[in-house]
Amino acid sequence: MISRNATSSFFSLSIQPLSQLFFLNELLIAIALSIFVYLWRRRSSTPPPPGPRGSLLTGNRSNILGTKEIWKEYAAWGTYYGPVISVKSANVQVIILNSSKAAFDLLDKRSYIYSDRPQTAMFGDLVGLNKGTVRVNLRDPRFPAYRRVAHEEMGPRQMSHYEPAIQESIKLLLKASLSDPKNLYMHLRNLQGRSMMKTTYGYSVESDDDYYVGLAEGWMNVLKHHMKPGQWLVDSYPILKYVPGWMPGAGFKAFATERKAQLNEVLTAPFQWVKSEMAAGRANSSFVSRRLSGPEELNEFDEAIVKQMATSMYVAGIDTVPSVLSTFILNMVLNPDVQKRAQSELDSVVGSERLPRLSDKSNLPYVEALVKEAYRYHPPSPLGSPHCAHQDDVYEDMFIPKGSHVHANIWAITHDESIYPNPEKFDPTRYLVQDPKTCKTPPDPRTFIFGFGRRICSGMHVADAVIFLTIASTLATCNILKSKDEAGNEITPEIKFTGGNVSRPEDFPCRIVPRSDAAMDLMMWPH
C-alpha cells in the first residue's frame, strides 16, 4: 500500500509545476497590462500635432471640402501652428507636413511607417482602387511587382521607347495650338493622351473625342471631384458599407457600383484591344505588347499587374502633365524676357533644322532651369497623394496615430522663402546662381513634385520627358504672346488656379505664332 505521506508527496510534486505555471501566466498578464497602461498613457500624454479646432462631429471637414486652394490655407495655418499640423475631416485624422524637413523625416526616412495608402471604404473597398498602383499598400504582393515592372519599363534608360511617340504628339500639339489657341488646355491634354496611348498600348489617337481617351478622362474627373478626405461618411464609419442599397441615405452604394463598373472598363477596354491586335499580328510595339509577348505566358496575377500598370501610366499623367505645361505657357506670356533667353539658348545648341531631343538636355542649362521653375511655381498636385501611418508614431513630441492620412504640402515647400527666395516670381536663374550664404543652388523641385520614399512616382521619367520635350520644342518653334482685344490692346492674363487634387491655371487668353518659316516647316514635316 502507498502511505499517506507518499501520496501527499506525490500530489505536492504534481501541483508545484502547475502553481508555477499559474504564477508565470499571472506575471505575463501583469507585464502585458503594465505595457498597455504605459503605452496608453504615452498615447494620451503625447499631444497630436497642433491645428485649428473644428466642430465636434465633423472636425474641419467644411474647411477642407469648401476651400478652393486648401494648400494655401494649410500653409497659412502652418505659419501659426508650426510645420506639422493636424486637422479632422469627420472621423479621419489628417496630418499636413508644411516643410521639406518634416516631409523627408517622415515620408522618406520613416518610409516603413508612412508608405501605405489610406484604404478607404468608398473607393478602396466598394470601388476597388485598393488593388491599383497608386493605392496598393506596401505589404501587398502587388506592390513589389509594380515596382519591378516600372523599373524594367520606365527607367531613364528606357526613354528611347517613348521619345518617338512624344515627338509625334508634340507636332500635333503645335499645329493645333497655332490654329486654335483658345482651346489650349484641351490640346495639352490631347498631347498627353496621344503620347501615352501610343507608348502604352500602341494605339494612335485620331480625334479629339476618341473613345479610349474619353474613358480615361472620365475616370480622372471622378478622382478629382470625389476623393477628398472625409468626403464620404462611409470612410469615417466603414460599417455603413454593409447598409442595404435600398435604405434611405444609402445612395453612395449606387454611386460605388457605377464607379466600379467604370473603373473596370478603363482597365480592360484598351488592354483587350492590344490583345486582339496581337492575335491579328498587327500590334504596334508598346508597353503592353512587350509585356505580353515575353518568353513565357503570363499568369492571371502577372497579367493583372500589366493591366493596372498600363492604366496608371495613362491616367496618372492625363491632368498633371498638362497642368505643368499650362503653367509654363502662362509664365511665357507674362515673362517675355525669360522666353527670349531660352529661345536664344535653343537656337545656339539645337539650330533650326530639327526639334530638340532628350540628348540635348545637358547642353541646355537655362531651358532645364525653366522646366524646374515650371514645376516649382505651381505644383500640379499641390498636396501630393496621401500617405497612411501604418502604426502609431511620435515625431518631435507630437503623436501621430495609426491610420492618419499624411499629406506633404508640396505647394508650401516650393513656396518656402528660406528655400526659394521671392517664390511668387517666375525666375529660372535661381537654379543657376549659388546663394552667397550657402554656396548652393535651391533644390530641384522634382525632389518634391514626384513624391517621397517608396511612393515616388514610378512614371516620373516618362512625365519629365514629355514636359522637357514639349517646353523645348514649343520655345524652339513658337513665340507665346499676349492676346489682344478687339481694339488691338494686349490682354494681361490673371494668375488664377483651379482647386482639386490636380490644380492648373484657369483658362487664360494667349497667342501662339511660329517664329519663322523654318519653324513652321518643322511642325509640318511628316512624323
Measured CA to CA, the distance from residue 19 to residue 8 in angstroms comes to 16
Q: What is the mean pLDDT of residues 436-448?
A: 87
How many folded domains does the chain comprise?
1
> What residues are designated binding site?
457
Measured CA to CA, the distance from residue 324 to residue 504 in angstroms comes to 7
Burial of residue 524 (CB within 10 Å: 0-12, 13-18, 19+) is exposed
Distances 229 to 76, 254, 365, 381 between C-alpha atoms, Å: 19, 20, 40, 15
Average pLDDT, the chain: 86
pLDDT given for residue 65 in this prediction: 58
Measured CA to CA, the distance from residue 190 to residue 184 in angstroms comes to 10
Measured CA to CA, the distance from residue 33 to residue 502 in angstroms comes to 47
Q: Residue 129: what residue type?
A: L
Extract the C-alpha cell encoding 17. 509545476
pLDDT given for residue 251 in this prediction: 86
In a domain, 42, yes or no: no
In a domain, 124, yes or no: yes
> What residues are designated binding site for heme?
457
pLDDT given for residue 14 in this prediction: 43
Question: Does residue 79 carry a pLDDT above 90?
Answer: yes
Question: Does residue 89 carry a pLDDT above 90?
Answer: no
pLDDT given for residue 54 in this prediction: 61
Percentage helix, strand, coil for the chain under 3-state DSSP, each rounded to 5 = 60, 10, 35
pLDDT given for residue 62 in this prediction: 56
Question: Does residue 86 carry a pLDDT above 80?
Answer: yes
pLDDT given for residue 130 in this prediction: 86
Q: What is the pLDDT of residues 341-364, one digit of tens each?
A: 999 999 999 998 999 999 999 999
Q: What is the mean pLDDT of residues 28-49?
A: 59
In a domain, 13, yes or no: no
Q: What is the pLDDT of residues 156-193, one digit of tens each?
A: 988 988 999 999 999 999 988 888 888 888 889 888 88
Q: What is the mean pLDDT of residues 495-505?
A: 91
pLDDT given for residue 31 in this prediction: 56
In a domain, 476, yes or no: yes
In a domain, 12, yes or no: no
pTM tops 0.75: yes
Nearest to 309, CA basis, from 135, 133, 152: 133
Question: Does residue 28 carry a pLDDT above 80?
Answer: no
pLDDT given for residue 444 in this prediction: 97
Convert 472-504 to b/e letters by CB count within 10 Å (16 or more is b): bbbbbbbbbbbbeeeeeeeeebebebebbbbbb
Give me the domain span that covers residue 195.
61-524
The answer to whether the CB of 364 falls within 8 A of the CB of 308 is no
In a domain, 65, yes or no: yes
Q: What is the pLDDT of residues 252-294, one digit of tens each?
A: 899 999 999 999 999 999 999 999 999 999 999 899 999 999 7
Burial of residue 30 (CB within 10 Å: 0-12, 13-18, 19+) is exposed
Q: What is the pLDDT of residues 445-489, one digit of tens each?
A: 999 999 999 999 988 999 999 999 999 999 999 999 999 998 889
Q: What is the dihedral of CA 358, 364, 370, 371, to 10 degrees?
A: 10
Above pLDDT 90, what percent of the chain? 56
pLDDT band at 217 (very low <50, low <70, confident <90, very high): confident
Q: What is the mean pLDDT of residues 114-126?
A: 89
Question: Does residue 13 carry a pLDDT above 60?
Answer: no
Q: Which of 23-32, 388-397, 409-418 has the lowest mean pLDDT?
A: 23-32
Question: Does residue 527 carry a pLDDT above 60?
Answer: no
CATH number at residue 138: 1.10.630.10
Question: Does residue 63 carry a pLDDT above 80?
Answer: no
Question: Does residue 1 carry a pLDDT above 60?
Answer: no
Above pLDDT 70, what percent of the chain? 88
